[in-house]
């Protein structure tokens, strides 16, 4: 089988399974061999304006705001259709059945909230893919890892599900190495798209260093899954210097009891204020080394130094220039005390971090990257060949998973009808 390079090692390409359970050709499809567009190469790119169907359920932007942020940024570039059924679906005059006009759309995007909990490669999409077979589709894959403590779906099922949908490309938050692995095993090109930030929101107090009564801040979930976080907070609490701390961690027991200093008791505005009122903010990578949204939120602040554990993705930033990384608790405490006593150095890093974010790490930049990567894939696809071929193993058409309460777009047929 073809060998694809992933970092310093090679990974054998394994074609996705067909309807009969057999694997497809041992050579990957053309799309899987396309060069990957980098997220940080979009500064001079002028995106086209598309009419886009965005497939996603109802979103609660108060908790996981990145679901809404990425869609809002994409909507600033394109005409995104997601709510009004009447403007999208028309009834066939002869049959009375609802149909979708593929000519009206340039792209379908399956949002990260919808893709999160896919556990079966036959998961319903909520619209008739066969009616939109000529429209390219991309999937923003979410939580592409296995966890015993949270609902993450199935990585294998998600990869096959995207292939079944005739997806043009997939996107993952996890990093360049994982994107290459998914490309090798998923039958379509996967791109690493790091999280981003709304710099206008999180940089509201940029440059204001006069009101910072807290030395150290930390927010995030705790518990067995995050042993490093517990170690960090314990080390900071026990430091002889009696640091002025703000800890907003929580776990299930804390939430149920209603006690403790909990981050989600803060509104987004107050969360931004709390970051700005703190000199140094500690953050850690998540499952599979994922660089979460909080990294970018602190970097965008223009007030607060980000201190974090070692991050493998060196293209994101430079250690000691835009943030400070630590190796172990002793190193962390040493660096905390250094930057608390060297204010000019701290401010220089904070200022450089915000400059970097504005150049490279906003959600607006991510929307441009998503567009550019998709445009490149579309340009290499034969225009006469549909993306989805009816008759292949494919998800059935059906109502959304929540019984139709979502604001999903599409033609919802009765569940006992053909998936076409």
Dist CA 144 CA 366 (whole Å): 19
| Residues making up the chain, counted from first to last | 420
DSSP reduced 3-state for 254:
helix
**What residues have CB less than 8 Å from 222, skipping those under 6 apart?**
229, 230, 233, 249, 250, 251, 254
Which is nearest to 181 in space by CA: 150, 144, 133, 212? 144
204 pLDDT above the threshold of 80: yes
Q: What is the mean pLDDT of the chain?
A: 81
- Determine the average pLDDT of the residues in 156-185: 93
Q: What is the pLDDT of residue 148?
A: 78
Instruction: Please say if the pLDDT value at position 335 is more than 80.
Output: yes
Q: If pLDDT is split at 50, 70 and 90, which confidence band does 117 have?
A: confident
Tell me the mean pLDDT in the region 338-363: 98
Model pLDDT for residues 54-90, shown as the tens digit of each residue: 988 777 676 678 999 999 999 999 999 874 444 455 5
35, with CB counted inside 10 A (0-12, 13-18, 19+), is exposed
pLDDT number for residue 390 = 67
Say what the pLDDT of residue 96 is: 55
Residues in CB range of 90: below 8 A, 6 or more apart: 98, 99, 101
HSE-up (13 A, CA, CB side) for residue 274 = 21
Percent of the chain with pLDDT over 90: 54
With a cut of 80, say whether residue 97 has pLDDT above it.
no
Band of residue 250 on the pLDDT scale cut at 50, 70, 90: low
Going by pLDDT thresholds of 50, 70 and 90, the confidence category of residue 120 is confident
Whether 92 shows a pLDDT value over 70: the answer reads no
Tokens, residue 318:
């430079």
Predicted local distance difference test score (pLDDT) of residue 90: 55
Predicted confidence at residue 20, as pLDDT, reads 47
Banded model confidence at residue 103, pLDDT cuts 50, 70, 90: confident
Contact 270, 217 (CB under 8 A): no
């Amino acid at each position: 089988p073809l060998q694809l390079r992933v970092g310093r090692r090679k990974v054998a390409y394994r074609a996705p399974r067909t309807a009969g359970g057999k694997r497809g050709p041992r050579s990957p499809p053309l799309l899987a061999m396309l060069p990957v567009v980098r997220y940080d190469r979009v500064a001079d790119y002028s995106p086209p304006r598309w009419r886009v169907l965005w497939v996603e359920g109802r979103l609660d932007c108060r908790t996981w705001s990145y679901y809404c942020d990425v869609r809002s940024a994409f909507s600033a570039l394109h005409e995104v259709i997601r709510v009004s059924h009447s403007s999208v679906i028309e009834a066939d005059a002869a049959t009375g059945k609802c149909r979708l006009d593929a000519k009206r759309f340039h792209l379908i995007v399956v949002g990260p909230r919808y893709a999160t909990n896919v556990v079966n490669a036959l998961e319903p999409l909520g619209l008739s893919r066969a009616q939109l077979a000529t429209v390219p589709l991309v999937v923003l894959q979410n939580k592409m890892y296995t966890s015993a403590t949270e609902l993450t779906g199935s990585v294998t099922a998600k990869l096959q599900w995207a292939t079944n949908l005739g997806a043009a490309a997939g996107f993952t938050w996890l990093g360049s190495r994982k994107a290459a692995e998914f490309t090798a095993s998923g039958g379509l090109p996967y791109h690493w798209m790091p999280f981003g930030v709304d710099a206008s929101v999180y940089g509201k107090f940029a440059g204001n260093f006069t009101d910072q009564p807290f030395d150290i801040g930390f927010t995030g979930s705790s518990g067995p899954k995050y042993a490093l976080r517990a170690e960090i907070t314990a080390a900071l609490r026990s430091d002889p210097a009696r640091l002025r701390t703000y800890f907003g961690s929580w776990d299930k027991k804390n939430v149920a009891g209603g006690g403790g200093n909990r981050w989600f008791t803060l509104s987004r505005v107050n969360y931004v204020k709390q970051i700005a009122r703190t000199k140094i903010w500690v953050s850690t990578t998540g499952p599979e080394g994922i660089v979460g949204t909080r990294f970018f939120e602190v970097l965008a602040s223009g007030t607060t130094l980000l201190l974090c554990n070692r991050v493998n993705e060196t293209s994101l930033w430079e250690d000691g220039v835009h943030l400070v990384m630590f190796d172990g608790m002793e190193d962390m405490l040493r660096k905390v005390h250094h930057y608390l006593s060297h204010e000019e150095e701290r401010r220089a890093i904070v200022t450089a971090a915000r400059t970097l974010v504005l150049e490279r790490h906003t959600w607006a930049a991510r929307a441009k990257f998503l567009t550019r990567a998709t445009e490149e894939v579309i340009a290499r696809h034969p225009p006469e060949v549909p993306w989805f071929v009816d008759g292949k193993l494919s998800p059935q058409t059906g109502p959304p998973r929540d019984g139709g309460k979502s604001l999903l777009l599409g033609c919802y047929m009765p569940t006992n009808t053909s998936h076409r």
